[in-house]
Structure 1
Amino acid sequence: MATVQVSEAEKVYILHGIRDDLRADGRGCEDYRHMEIETDVVSNTDGSARVTLGHTAVLVGIKAEIGKPRPLVPNEGYLEFFVDCSANATPEFEGRGGEELGIELSNMLYKVFNKHCLDLRSLCISEGEHCWLLYVDVLLLQCDGNLYDAISVAVKAALFNTKIPRVHISADEDGGKEIELSDDPYDCMRVDVENVPCIVTLCKIGHRHVVDATLQEKACSVASVLVSVTHSGSVTCTRKVGGGSLDPESIFEMIEAGKRVGKSLHAPLMKLLQQEESLGKRRQKVGFLG
């Protein structure tokens, strides 16, 4: 994870500000920075999105390919995640510096985006034979803290933007199945993202916790809790990161705050994506507040 050096005087300034619910950039403890979302940005993908959260920038591209279902779930398609950390995002990602973080982010995405939030059965073409495989490629363009939240929003926006060609199955002369993809760009299948969760990261700093921490604030944090929250406020996944310890009361308060902030994040996000598509606009800007 990208880090910055913070002096003791800066730490005291940040801690005192958070104690009074006034952060260095003027936000409250449960406020997000300005978030900018742009969809349909990569021409050779079936769905894509770019999210800028403060100075953190993430690009997600989704490519749909026909594959074979997994033996244990022959009537479902599935997603494959790959996270690439650009060396331009931070010098720490040069060489193989970003590989470990990329694997960590990919593993978290597998836990969050599963069959409980996506209708994977809709990706099945013919049971046990063919299904849609969605390759989700995530590129970290710039890193200024809060990667998990930015990536989860970008993945949800890219899935919303994904258009999968309609498949027509017919019998060939030998009695087998012949698969034909529709050439009509409007004859496509969409992914239902209503239950797709967003990740809210809460960092414990002093005696309080903050949402959407910058790298400077992250340097003052003892530990963080990741909370995956659906539009209804249900928690689908939680994870503690960082070397410090958290008492049970703090964990409970952070999860409750994550549920509250996450639930308030979904409605404006979906409204934004639907408005963008209905008006045919490729770019919209919005600031989310917890």
Structure 2
Amino acid sequence: MSLCEAEKTFVLHGVEENFRLDGREREDYRPMELETDIVLHAFGSARLRLANTDVLVAVKIEIDVPFPERSKEGKLEFFVDCSANATPDFEGRGGEDLAVEIANTLSSAYRSKHAFDLTKLCILKGKKCWKVYVDILLLECGGNLFDAVSLAVKAALWNTQVPKVHGVNIDGNNIELNVSEELYDCDRLDVKNAPVMVTVCKIGEKCIVDPSVAEEQCSVGSIVVAVSGDKFSTVLQTGTGSLHPATLMESLKLGHRVAQRLDEALWATLRQIKPGQDVGFLK
């Protein structure tokens, strides 16, 4: 999708008047739909649709050995795959750079213990821990990927069930774990403060959230903020433009405010969701 100068001017004027192409105001999101527990062999999963952006997340876990320098912690890894059907830009190896950028941003956002406590994944200090793999598939790209991915990841981790360990047998260097095989004998991950990302774009002299593909092309600069509870866990500048320090501060405040609103809406939805149920929110 490519816009001519006249179309970009039209978008800019709409943002200035606080009336965007689809009728939203500058701080409004497009409708979302969330579904959890949809991947049969995963420990947790979620699919989120934000207008034309479609993200599928599956979580799997296995027993591993902690890092020597972090003997009391488990492991958390992110992998992003950009489907070639999502957009023509992803054909061949076109989506690799974006996939790496999203995975690295998620890793940075979840690194803080205030965002996600890895010590709760430790089974036996220095010996055994849970390793959590978060696999993200971008099915369709309709703008604002970072926000959609962060919400889908948080929902999938909330849906994840970790089997309980009822005993440890140590015989020399051999360690055997008594892991429950009962379907409902599991623990939930604590994702209360897991980060929510908000992309803030500057178009003309105003800042907006949840940019569409057309609005992303009109942006003169943008940042992605990840908010955990009431704290920033990471800030990323995207695109090629730059922001004045005053605009940056305004963008951070806007991102922080909107992230908390998004998080409240997500939790309200997760509390009422049932397995296999499709739920819309922020409509």
TM-score by length of 1: 0.94
Find the counterpart in structure 1 of residue 190 from structure 2: 192
Q: Quick check: 1:169–1:177 contact (8 Å CA) kept in 2?
A: no
- Deviation, structure 1 residue 176: 4.6
Find the counterpart in structure 2 of residue 79 from structure 1: 76
Amino acid at match of 1:107: N
- Deviation, structure 1 residue 169: 2.4
The C-alpha deviation readout for 1:34-88, integer Å capped at 9, x for no partner, is 0111000101100000010010000000001101101110111011111000000
The C-alpha deviation readout for 1:73-120, integer Å capped at 9, x for no partner, is 011101111100000000111111111111111111110112331121
Find the counterpart in structure 1 of residue 121 from structure 2: 123
The C-alpha deviation readout for 1:243-276, integer Å capped at 9, x for no partner, is 1121111001010011111111111211211211
1:284–1:176: structure 2 CA closer, same or farther, 3 Å change rule? same
Matched, 1:61 2:29: no
> Which segments of 5 or more consecutive residues in structure 2 lack a partner in the other structure?
none
Q: Quick check: 1:64–1:132 contact (8 Å CA) kept in 2?
A: yes
Q: Select the residue among 132, 136, 158 that pairs with 2:130.
A: 132
- Structure 1 stretches of 4+ moved >3 Å: 172-177
Find the counterpart in structure 2 of residue 285 from structure 1: 280
Find the counterpart in structure 1 of residue 161 from structure 2: 163
1:110–1:56: structure 2 CA closer, same or farther, 3 Å change rule? same
Alpha-carbon RMSD: 1.4
- d(CA) in 2 for partners of 1:89 and 1:176? 46
How many residues align structurally? 282
TM-score by length of 2: 0.96
- Percent identical among aligned pairs is 47
Specify the SS of the correspondent of 1:238: strand
- Deviation, structure 1 residue 174: 6.5
Q: Quick check: 2:37–2:276 contact (8 Å CA) kept in 1?
A: no
> Which segments of 5 or more consecutive residues in structure 1 lack a partner in the other structure?
none
1:174–1:74: structure 2 CA closer, same or farther, 3 Å change rule? closer
Tell which deviates more after alignment, 234-243 or 49-58.
Answer: 234-243
- d(CA) in 1 for partners of 2:170 and 2:21? 67
